[in-house]
Amino acid sequence: MHHFDEPTTPADDSLATGPWYSEMNRYHWFVLIVAALGWLFDCLDQQLFILARQPAMAELLATVGSDGETIAPTRETINEYAGYATSIFLIGWASGGLFFGVLGDRIGRAKTMIITILLYSLFTGLSALSQGFADFALYRFLTGLGVGGEFAVGVALVAEVMPARARTYALSLLQALSAVGNISAALIGMVMGQLQQEGVLSAWGLESTWRPMFVIGAVPALLALVIRRRLKEPERWQQVRHEGAAKRQLGSYSELLGNPLWRKHALLGLVLAFSGVVGLWGVGFFTMDLVGDVLTKRFTAEGLSSEQITGKVATWKGITSMMINVGAAAGMCGFGFVAQRIGRRPSFAISFVAAFLSTAMVFAFLDDFSEVFWMVPIMGFCQLSLFAGYAIYFPELFPTYLRSTGTSFCYNVGRFLAAIGPGLLGYLTQHVYADAAEPLRNAGLTVCGVFLVGLLALPFLPETKDRPLPE
């Protein structure tokens, strides 16, 4: 049906010369593109949610007074419930990751990837129909199931199909291309903000930008329909499935945690993931909300109407998101090149410290339009470089029959624990720093120290540079 070269099991090509991509055939590129698109659209959904959560909370939490007038929620209440919605989304993400990670080892990477893409697309679209916080949170939880499952099977698929010398670069490129999804979401947010400023959305009967943004997020389902017949399971996985099924169970948490070595890798790996995920979702992705709060005060002082303020803030949130992801794309590509030269552990150490310092800088000092264009990209570079590290390193810690399961355990148990981050930020904003001039700024400075937690695990983890994947 198709004319791709047949996939081959990666060989030991450490003595090969030429650029890393010279050994990749058409099927290798097809797998990389498919996995990258799956993760790209996954990240598009995440970023649409981040941009939409404040306006969604503003609309869904509004009440009607005894005189029939709509009573808008306070900014602090909006930020608090935005934090709770994010935590619920992360719990769904973690649950889906653990379930689909096992499924990826048991029924195959390709089949599981298609299921997860359909799942997160469907419930992203249904989020647009929300009538209150409860059903909005439910849809976000169900969306998270699919979002969480896609990452582990995608990186396992790429790690097992790529030639050994290309693996590190291909995985960092896969992660870097996720920035395209994030930037696309930012552009969508900016367009929606412009339509709101011009009164187009109100003419369509829409109060805000968030509902059409979630409708757009349903589009990736088309990708699953396109790839479902052309994507094959990796030969590594097929071989282990046929030869090893009688001796060991594919995709088993009891197998993962019962073996002392794999248990050690799993528990230390989840500390790495916890640090970066809490830092990104509990602080970093609230940069758009920080910018929104700062500019809302400024535009209010300038006497703009509420519709103009909402539209302008949506536009600037989109710009902020783009700046994060311009930096992120460079940071994720950079991690792959650095990790291939100095090793995985030193690269993680540098990234954790840089992420802490750059995030503290943004939340302490960002107070002007111009600072969005240099502070925020630096922060995005440092924070998101860690996620290229996860894509490269986690598959190298586990054998083929547990690769998807182990990667999911690190990333998604870490995400379960990380769900406290946004909720903690919301609680600090509403209750601890409520009397501060800018509560969100103080809360962000408090939580960003979590980036340093990852340093604690590094001395006890192996260096996997130039080593083959465990069998």
How many other CB atoms are there within 10 angstroms of residue 302's CB atom? 10
The predicted pLDDT at position 224 comes to 67
Q: Buried b / exposed e across 316-354, counting CB within 10 Å, b at 16+? A: bbbbbbbbbbbbbbbbbbbbbebbbeeebbebbbebbeb
Tokens of 97: 């990751």
Residue 394 · residue 269 · CB < 8 Å? yes
- Percent of the chain residues past pLDDT 90, beyond the cut: 25
Query: In Å, how far from its chain's centre is CA 135?
Result: 22
Q: For residue 71, report the phi and psi dihedrals to the nearest 5 degrees.
A: -105, 115
Secondary structure class of 248 (helix, strand, coil): coil
Residues 257-293: pLDDT tens digits? 889 999 999 999 999 999 998 898 888 888 988 888 8
Secondary structure class of 71 (helix, strand, coil): strand
The predicted pLDDT at position 142 comes to 93
Q: What rounded mean pLDDT belongs to the chain?
A: 84
CATH number, domain containing residue 97: 1.20.1250.20
The predicted pLDDT at position 12 comes to 47
Strand extents, DSSP E, 60-116:
63-64, 70-71
Residue 292 · residue 317 · CB < 8 Å? yes
Give me the domain span that covers residue 205: 25-241+250-460
CA atoms of 128 and 122, how far apart (whole Å): 11
Give Cα separations from 367 to 107, 189, 288, 308, 438 (angstroms): 51, 21, 13, 20, 11
Strand extents, DSSP E, 65-107:
70-71
Q: Name which of 313-327, 412-426, 456-470 the model is least confident about.
A: 412-426
118 falls within a domain:
yes
The predicted pLDDT at position 229 comes to 67
The predicted pLDDT at position 168 comes to 87
Number of domains present in the structure of the chain: 1
CA atoms of 289 and 264, how far apart (whole Å): 38
Under the banding of pLDDT at 50, 70 and 90, the label for residue 1 is very low
Residues 120-135: pLDDT tens digits? 888 988 999 999 999 9
Under the banding of pLDDT at 50, 70 and 90, the label for residue 166 is confident
Q: Name which of 42-51, 126-135, 443-452 the model is least confident about.
A: 42-51
- Residue 6 is classified by DSSP as P
- Residue 64 is classified by DSSP as E
Residues 350-368: pLDDT tens digits? 999 999 999 999 999 998 8
Residue 252 · residue 106 · CB < 8 Å? no
Under the banding of pLDDT at 50, 70 and 90, the label for residue 387 is very high
As a whole number, mean pLDDT of residues 174-191 equals: 85
Of 276 and 219, the one with more pLDDT: 276
Of 460 and 430, the one with more pLDDT: 460
DSSP output for 309-355: HHHHHHHHHHHHHHHHHHHHHHHHHHHHHHHHHH-HHHHHHHHHHHH
The predicted pLDDT at position 357 comes to 97
Q: Name which of 28-37, 130-139, 224-233, 316-325 the model is least confident about.
A: 224-233
Which of 375, 334, 355 is closest to 452 using CA atoms? Answer: 355
Under the banding of pLDDT at 50, 70 and 90, the label for residue 34 is confident
As a whole number, mean pLDDT of residues 18-40 equals: 85
194 falls within a domain:
yes
What lies within 8 Å, CB to CB, of 443 at 6+ separation is 425, 428, 429, 432, 433
The predicted pLDDT at position 90 comes to 82
What lies within 8 Å, CB to CB, of 320 at 6+ separation is 186, 287, 288, 291, 372, 376
Q: For residue 231, report the phi and psi dihedrals to the nearest 5 degrees.
A: -95, 125
Of 301 and 463, the one with more pLDDT: 463
Q: Which of 47-51, 160-164, 348-352 has the highest mean pLDDT?
A: 348-352
249 pLDDT more than 70: no
467 falls within a domain:
no
443 pLDDT more than 80: yes
11 falls within a domain:
no
466 falls within a domain:
no
Residue type for position 184:
S
CA atoms of 296 and 309, how far apart (whole Å): 6
457 pLDDT more than 90: yes
The predicted pLDDT at position 228 comes to 64
Burial of 243 (0-12, 13-18, 19+ CB in 10 A): exposed
Residue type for position 136:
F
